[in-house]
Chains A and B, each alone.
Chain A
C-alpha cells in the first residue's frame, strides 16, 4: 500500500491580533481502513479556450461509489476577476469558486460528477484525484 499525506497550513500575521498558524495533516486512507489510497489520475492540466458552463471535470462513473478519494483542484491563472465555479452532481450544486491561484482539497466519495463553469477565455486549471479501486 502507498502512504500519501496531505498537509494544510493556514497562516496570517494580521488576520487577528494573535498570529494565525494552523497546520492540519492527514494520511489518505481507503474508506474505513488504515490502508493507503493507491491510485491517482496524476496531476492533470486543462486549458479552456472559452468560458465554460457545467463542463464535466471529474466523471464519477470512473470511480467506485462510497469510497474515500480526495480531490485537488487549482486555478493556475492569476486573474482576480475570472474564476472557476466548482459544482457537484447532476444538479450542479455550487460548492465554491476559485479565483486565480486559489485551490481546494476535499474528500470525494466517487458518487457524483464534479463540473466546472468559468468566466473567461484561456483559463487553466490543474486537478488530481487520489482514489481507491
Chain B
C-alpha cells in the first residue's frame, strides 16, 4: 500500500471582489500502489478510432483509479479530446485546451483514448490505481 496525495489550489485576486484561495488535499482512496508512470506521447489521431492514443485500458486497475492528464501544447486551440472507447458512440468526457490539465477519479472499467485537433499534439498522462 502506498500513500499518495492530490492537492488542488485555486487562486485569484480579481475573479471576485474577495480573493479566491481554495486549497484541498485528498489522500487517494484505498491507498493505490500501482501507477502507469507519467507518460508523454504524441497524439496523432484527429478522430476516434484505432489510431487514437490509449490513455487507459479498461480494468487494468481495480476501482477506484485516478487520472491526471495534460495537454502540453502552447496553443489554446490545439485541443485534445479524451473519449470513452468502451461506451457506444465514443462519448467525449474531456476537452483539454493547450496548457490545460484535468484530474479525476475513474471507476476504471472503461478504455480511454485521445485524439487531437492538430497532428501531432503532445499529451502527458498518468493513472494511479490498484492492480487486479
Contacts and interface: CB of A to CB of B under 8 A. Distances in A.
A43 interface: yes
Contacts of B41: none
Interface residues of A, number: 57
B105 A96 contact: yes
A105 B11 contact: no
B105 A107 contact: no
Given A9-B6, A34-B76, A97 B101 contact: no
A74 B104 contact: no
A5 B11 contact: yes
Interface residues of B, number: 52
Contact of B35 (A4, A15, A32, A85): A15
Interface in A86-109: 86, 88-89, 91, 93-99, 101-107, 109
Contacts, number: 158
Interface string A95-126: 11111011111110100000000000000000
B33 A15 contact: yes
A11 to B, nearest CB: 6
B14 A2 contact: yes
Nearest to A16: B35
21 contacts: A3-B14, A4-B20, A5-B9, A6-B8, A9-B5, A10-B6, A10-B7, A10-B68, A12-B4, A15-B3, A15-B128, A16-B35, A22-B38, A27-B99, A34-B76, A40-B15, A93-B91, A102-B105, A103-B26, A105-B8, A105-B104
